[in-house]
Amino acid sequence: MNSDNTRMRAVVIPEFGEAEVLRVERMPVPEPGPGQVAIDVAHAGANFAEVLYRRGVVDVPLPFVPGIEVSGHVRAVGAGVTGLAVGQPVAALTIVDSGGYAEVVVTSAALVAPLDGLDLGLDVAAALPSNSTTAFLVLERVARLAPGERVLVHAAAGGVGSQLGQVARLLGAGRVVGTVGGEAKIETARGFGYDEVILRDRLAEAGEFDVVVDMVGGPARAASLERLAPMGRLVVMGNASGAEDVGLPANHLWFTNRTVSGFNLAAFSAAFPAEAGRALRRAVRSAADGTLRVAVETLPLELAAEAHRRIESGRTTGKLVLDIAAA
């Protein structure tokens, strides 16, 4: 940030549209309220969620600063905040109110994970709050994964897919299979804890699973339901394909003893901030001790639009992170 401590640089969505609408502008520096923390942002994760904000799929007020996860240092703490101090390195979920594509962001103290004493770079730390936290919550809280169960994950080479395979392994899953949309991503996905990686259009040959996690939607969602074993659980957590919503027949679930659940990290973090924070801190510890691997590619803040284009095209593997401090 420059010498004017009341203004900061931020990527702004001034109007809904394609990636080109993103602008770097100067904005007022936010101040923390009670129970909140202000963070000087070092890095911000780039996610499909921010693409949805930019497209207008999610109803947000304009102009809007996207950014659902960051790393950096505590700038200020609000009234009632304990356990966090100015200057402390942290990773944080900023998903409830967004704002992470900026030099300063404010979020609930419950959604902040200290990084003191951990062997974890701030670039990697910024890639954990959304995807890695989601992986633990989806598999434990929503799917209630039991040791030895079979897990299928769509988009296995992507940001959250790269974490779901590894977390399934950490939680004692038996067979863990990932799907990808093209041959070029198979080898990348294999490095993220999967026993097998298959093309999504070969799903009918994959066998049965106790848990399927689908962030793709469209034909993959309907086909996933048929891959569920008796008492199997399908967790719906995205629609990256942009396809029309898929109707799931309730009577079919009744007769086949199957379950469909939804998970949205923003809504969960707003309703259960303490639980989301615990999952975040667990993800941070797992990455720091090497049991959870995150592949990170860093882009400068000014290339936020390029990050969005790459996410939309499906060309990304692992996680894109914006370097805010370098700006």
Mean pLDDT of each 10-residue bin along the chain, 327 residues long:
80 97 97 98 96 93 97 98 97 97 98 96 97 97 98 93 95 96 90 92 92 92 93 92 81 92 97 98 96 93 96 80 88
What pLDDT, on the 0 to 100 scale, is given for residue 125? Answer: 98
Report which secondary-structure segment, H or E, holds 55: helix 48-55
Q: Which of 272, 294, 22 is nearest to 159 (CA)?
A: 294
Q: Are 35 and 78 in contact (CB under 8 A)?
A: yes
Measured CA to CA, the distance from residue 268 to residue 96 in angstroms comes to 9
Mapping DSSP to helix (H, G, I), strand (E, B) and coil, where does residue 23 land?
A: strand
15 secondary structure, DSSP code: S
List, in order, residues 6 or more apart from 326 with CB less than 8 Å away: 300, 301
Burial 182-196 (b: 16+ CB within 10 A, else e): eeebbebbbbbbbbb
Measured CA to CA, the distance from residue 153 to residue 136 in angstroms comes to 14
Measured CA to CA, the distance from residue 24 to residue 66 in angstroms comes to 12
> What are the structure tokens assigned to 97, written together?
């109110």
The DSSP line for 15-47 is: SSSSGGG-EEEEEEPP---TTEEEEEEEEEEE-
What pLDDT, on the 0 to 100 scale, is given for residue 2? Answer: 55
pTM: 0.93
What pLDDT, on the 0 to 100 scale, is given for residue 222? Answer: 87
